[in-house]
Chain A
Amino acid sequence: KNEVEQSPQNLTAQEGEFITINCSYSVGISALHWLQQHPGGGIVSLFMLSSGKKKHGRLIATINIQEKHSSLHITASHPRDSAVYICAVAFFNAGGTSYGKLTFGQGTILTVHP
């Protein structure tokens, strides 16, 4: 079964701390997304990656294809980083059209206190 597991489910930090959220998946993938959802519902894409590492400001995403694992790091966390972070995976679909389907992790609720 194609599964995506995120950890931790809840994370509380003090402003300035370095934060790591982990994502593991079960089988080969075509792409992995990290998404952010603020209170109120709207989901935005932070990163899409299939190998290596990407950085945007204080956010860094890495992926290890052999270990089927990805991490999202936030350096110098700030209260405005408080949100739900979601890992979403496009499982490899040999010989067929995927239609862009994604499988989602349960999400990590991050709260950063001042």
Chain B
Amino acid sequence: DVKVTQSSRYLVKRTGEKVFLECVQDMDHENMFWYRQDPGLGLRLIYFSYDVKMKEKGDIPEGYSVSREKKERFSLILESASTNQTSMYLCASSLLDSYEQYFGPGTRLTVT
């Protein structure tokens, strides 16, 4: 079974803190994705990566950066957390040209 894990299920941070969210997949997938999910808005793509050290902006990249130093690991970084970044963050992975994405359990981030 494909397994996608995220470093934390729940996280509480203060405004201005630097926040790291980590995602690890164990199926040698080329593609990895970071989404945020908000009520009424659905999942929105923040960044994705199709290879080590490669990254592409999604629909809402402002305030976020990413890092992919190893194929299995994709990190989302909030350089200076703000209250409007309080959300559920979901990571997913897939093979290069596959539309079947496998999702992690999500991290519910609260910024106070």
Interface footprint category on B: 20 to 34
Partner of B106, one of A9, A42, A90, A107: A42
Interchain CB contact under 8 A, B98 and A106: no
* Contacting residues, chain B, for A52 (C-beta < 8 A): none
Contacts of A101 in B (CB 8 A): 33, 45, 48
The smallest C-beta distance from B66 to any residue of chain A, in angstroms, reads 14
Known A99-B50, A102-B99: A41·B42 in contact at CB below 8 Å: no
- For chain A, give the interface size range: 20 to 34
Q: A9-B40, A104-B42 are in contact. Are A99 and B96 (CB under 8 A)?
A: yes
Contacting residues, chain A, for B15 (C-beta < 8 A)? none
Q: Please give, as numbers and ranges, the residues of chain B lying within 8 Å of A100 by CB-CB distance.
A: 31, 94-101
Residues of B within 8 A of A75 (CB): none
Show the binding face of B for A, using Cβ within 8 Å: 9, 31, 33, 35, 40-45, 48, 50, 56, 88, 90, 92, 94-101, 103-106, 108
Q: Which 6 A-B pairs have the closest CB atoms?
A: A41-B106, A43-B103, A104-B43, A90-B99, A100-B94, A106-B42
